[in-house]
Amino acid sequence: MLLLTLFACTPDPITKPGGRPDRDDTAGDTADTGDSGDTADTGGEPAKWQFLVYMDGDNDLEDWVIHDLNELELTGSGDGVEVLVQADRIDGYSTKNGDWTDARRYKIIGDEDADRITSPVLEDIGEVDMGAPETLAAFLDWASTNYPAEHRALIMWDHGDGWLVRDPEDAADTMADGAAPPPAVAYDDTDGGYLSFAEGTFAEGVTASVEAHGKFDVIAFDACNMASWEVMHAIVPFAHAASGAETTEGYEGLQYGPALAYLRATPDTTPILLANELSRATVEEGGEETHSATDLDQLAGLDAAIDALAGAALADPELATALMQYRRTTRGVDRIWKNWYLDAGDLAAVITAAGDPVLTPLALDLTAALDVAVYHSYASEEYAWVSGLTLWFDPANDDYTELYVNGPGATWSSDTRWDDLMLSYVEK
């Protein structure tokens, strides 16, 4: 089994409370020369775990590639855990550690130097599009060929924003109408690629690996706005558990030290307990606002509850109108934009409080299903009310609704009627 994590935020993210401050760009300039170390450990018994980090810093997060490589080195490989990284940089945001701008593969070796990367470069693979599914697939294949393990962990690290896609023409944080640019995950600014859930390119990147080696134990997103029902639904074929944030993350994101220490000390942990530790440390030790652990093996009940709610509204126009009113008083998880990401539990609470004889029992079912699917939701005091997963509810956005309904990777649209409900609002 495997673990996959994504670190991602929207383009040019805003530092939030608990996020990373600007760092001294002069530190550690002399290390990481690009000299290759040992190429692989192909002999002997498989390791217990691979902890794979797919680190796309080919954008304005370049400086944080160096930060998190050093953070990984503070714990490093050992005790049956192989920490392997593919990191890509870009020109212009940092000159640290040799100012390289291509993509490199590392085996992370523990050291106490928080500024210099001392782990060996196993391969320098040149410029690649980290947003291309074949690049992700090649990294997974390389890791499994050279560092086989009983369990695997992949950390996808970059900007990200849920199930949507980013328009390559939108380079700024806001478009002309003030809306957020359509998002995705793993943006490569040099080559223009991204990995999308709705378009199916993320699935393309992991399918071959899962077919060859089985599901990931955990897909854990070190990324903004990835703890959504839609993302969870899309990754059910690829993982047993997931970890992600409902809100925008600050730069600190996942806390690699506690996660690796836990994994090294508890190699026989279960997928959901590892997902839980990733989320716990992110909020309690990293100061992030939200992070939750979802049991993907228990998601079917939530799918059914959402489908039933949509079915009731589709069958009765008055209920559809009432549901839209409840949507207007439900809390979203972003202060500025992306208010289409409603907290699923808060929507259920608003409906329940209204006392509608048809919708309230369905809302109670939704609450119960969330309690089963979400193992634990961690949050700051400000977000103590969140349930752990968001639900998209923005039928006014025609472009996004088309993708939500008909995207080739939009698995939720074929398995539930929630997309039909969104489309019905657009067509009124």
Residue type, 28: G
DSSP for 337-360, written as a single string: S-TTEEEHHHHHHHHHHHT-TTHH
Candidate from 138-147, 227-236, 394-403 with smallest mean pLDDT: 394-403
Q: What are the structural domains, with CATH classification, of the chain?
A: 2-295 (3.40.50.11970), 300-427 (no CATH)
Read off the pLDDT of residues 24-35 as tens digits, 9 standing for 90 and up.
444 444 445 444
Q: Please, is 376 exposed, middle or buried when counting C-beta atoms within 10 Å of its C-beta (0-12, 13-18, 19+)?
A: middle
Residue 45's pLDDT is: 84
Angle at 345 between CA 339 and CA 346, to 5 degrees: 55
Nearest in space to 221 (alpha carbons), one of 149, 158, 288: 158
Please name every residue paired with 47 in a beta bridge, in sequence order, or none if there are none: 149
Q: Is the pLDDT of residue 362 over 90?
A: yes
- C-alpha 394/C-alpha 302 separation (Å) is 20
Pick 400 or 179 by higher pLDDT. 400
Write the pLDDT tens digit of every residue in 304-343.
999 999 999 999 999 999 999 999 899 988 755 556 789 9
Residue 41: pLDDT band with limits 50, 70, 90: low
DSSP state of 215: -
Return the sign of the alpha-carbon dihedral for residues 345, 351, 355, 360.
Answer: negative
| Helix, strand, coil percent values for the chain (each to nearest 5) | 40, 20, 45
Mean pLDDT across the chain: 84
pLDDT, one tens digit per residue, over 80-93 is 999 999 998 887 78
**DSSP class of residue 213?**
H
Residue spans of beta strands (DSSP E) within 166-276: 216-223, 239-244
Q: What is the average pLDDT across 234-244?
A: 94
Report in angstroms the alpha-carbon separations of 87 from 81, 123, 255, 353, 357. 19, 11, 18, 48, 54
pTM (two decimals): 0.87
Confidence of residue 109 (pLDDT cuts 50, 70, 90): very high
3-state secondary structure of 88: strand
DSSP one-letter code for 310: H
